[in-house]
Amino acid sequence: MILRALFTRLFAHLDGPLVGLLALLLLLGSSVVYSASGENPAKLASHFLNMSVALGAMLLVSHIPPQRLMQFALPAYAVGLILLLGVALFGIVVNGSRRWLELGVTRIQPSELMRLAVPMMLAWYLHYKQETLRARDFAIAGLLLALPVGFIAKQPDLGTSLLITASGFYVLFLGGLSWKVIIGAAVAAGAALPVAWNYLLHDYQQKRVLTLIDPSSDPLGAGYHIIQSTIAVGSGGVAGKGWMSGTQTHLDFLPERSTDFIFAVYSEEFGLIGNLFLLLLYAAIIWRGLMLASGAPSLFGRLFAGAIVLTFATYAFVNMGMVSGILPVVGVPLPLVSYGGTSMVTVLVGFGIVMSLVTHKKLVKT
């Protein structure tokens, strides 16, 4: 009886359907990681260790009440900005980008912190201003978003900066940002593309866009990733070549096959039918997450949870589009499928926050 009560209390803030869908995606991802790694048991064991840590973090975060999350919003955002400033001033350069900060025995990438800190800060600000929400409040929120995005884009890390921009935009959109403002901003962004191309994008970023248009222009260099991934996706056909039977994967033609390009491995082995199943699984997770977000008892909860779920959807779309050759190559893993502990922990902590925001029914304005 006591054990049952403890068990119930431990998992009280988890949503059964969502956890079940996430577990199914994690198991599917584990099978693909095993194949992509060349049937390497050590890598699979490392993947399961990452999964255990991420699931434990999700369980732990689900018990944090929304009041506490709101109290974390401003400090987390401020610490993230300080760390980004530290990267700009003292960060170490890896592969031509200044993204890492050395902290004694370890190094950290502060942009990862901002993936959750930015939407949390914006959700807190709009919640705090909800009684008198005006256009200027959205303008201030836009500045709160632009500041860290500018730091990250300067590193340069265009992919992460665009994805954080998307997460912040989702908060503003769900908070009631006017369609006139959205359309006006989209038109202005379109008009600014020539300026961005000539003065803001680095040479390698321009090359990625040009390679997307014509991968054959540099088949052994910048176009190699796209060419090999699209061959793998197309060669899977309708039913796929079978688990651990993908030739592009196991003959080492496919680069980054355990991480950024794991969708190509999956497509080659499971084909169109497998892809449709994966898309349905992602759609079910997104639908369930949005249903939970809509039931959050506060504006902060609805905005933050909605942004987390929509950002998850954006990461999946960007990765699949990149691997399929319809988007430029950026360093974005396929959520809960790609190998990598940081990404998995970030995603599952996000869903733990979603469940916390919904299952804790009492929220005070702070």
pLDDT digits (tens, 9 = 90+) for 316-364: 999 999 898 888 887 788 999 999 888 899 899 999 999 998 887 644 4
- What's the pLDDT score for residue 362? 47
Phi, psi of 347 (to 5 degrees): -65, -45
* Residue 99, pLDDT above cutoff 70: yes
- With cut-offs at 50, 70 and 90, classify the pLDDT of residue 220: low
Tokens of 276: 């449709």
H/E element, 103: strand 97-103
Look at residues 58, 66, 71, 175 and name the one whose alpha carbon lies nearest to residue 121: 71
| Tokens 């991480």 found at | 259
Indicate the residue type of 131. E
Q: Do 355 and 62 meet the contact criterion of CB atoms below 8 Å apart? A: yes
Q: Are 248 and 264 in contact (CB under 8 A)?
A: yes
Higher pLDDT, 45 or 226: 45
Q: How far is CA 335 from CA 59, 95, 285, 340, 341, in A?
A: 18, 24, 11, 10, 11
Domain ranges of the chain: 15-359
pLDDT band for 366, please (50, 70, 90 cuts).
Answer: very low
List, for residues 107-143, the tens digit of each pLDDT value.
778 888 898 999 999 999 999 998 888 889 999 999 9
> For residue 222, what pLDDT is reported?
67
The pLDDT of residue 47 = 92
How large a percentage of the chain has pLDDT more than 70?
90
Q: Confidence class of residue 216 from pLDDT cuts 50, 70 and 90? A: low
Chain segment 172-203, per-residue pLDDT in tens? 999 988 888 889 888 888 887 787 777 677 67
How is the beta sheet containing 92-94 ordered, strand by strand? Answer: 92-94, 97-103, 106-108
Confidence tier at 214 by pLDDT (50, 70, 90): low
Q: Establish how many alpha carbons lie within 13 A of residue 37's alpha carbon, considering only the half-sphere containing its beta carbon.
A: 20
| Collapsed DSSP state (helix, strand, coil) of residue 311 | helix
pLDDT at 7 exceeding the cut of 70: no
Backbone angles phi, psi at 108, to 5 degrees: -125, 155
pLDDT at 167 over 80: yes
Provide the b/e sequence for 119-143 (b: ≥16 CB within 10 Å): bbbbbbbbbbbbeebeeebbeebbe
**What gap in Å lies between CA 269 and CA 149, rounded to an integer?**
37
**pLDDT (tens digit, 9 = 90+) per residue, 37-81?**
888 888 899 999 999 999 999 999 999 988 898 999 999 999 999
Q: What is the mean pLDDT of residues 231-245?
A: 87
Q: What is the mean predicted confidence (pLDDT) over 212-230?
A: 74
Over residues 290-303, the mean pLDDT reads 92
Report the mean per-residue pLDDT for the chain: 86
Which two three-digit tokens encode residue 168?
Answer: 């912040």
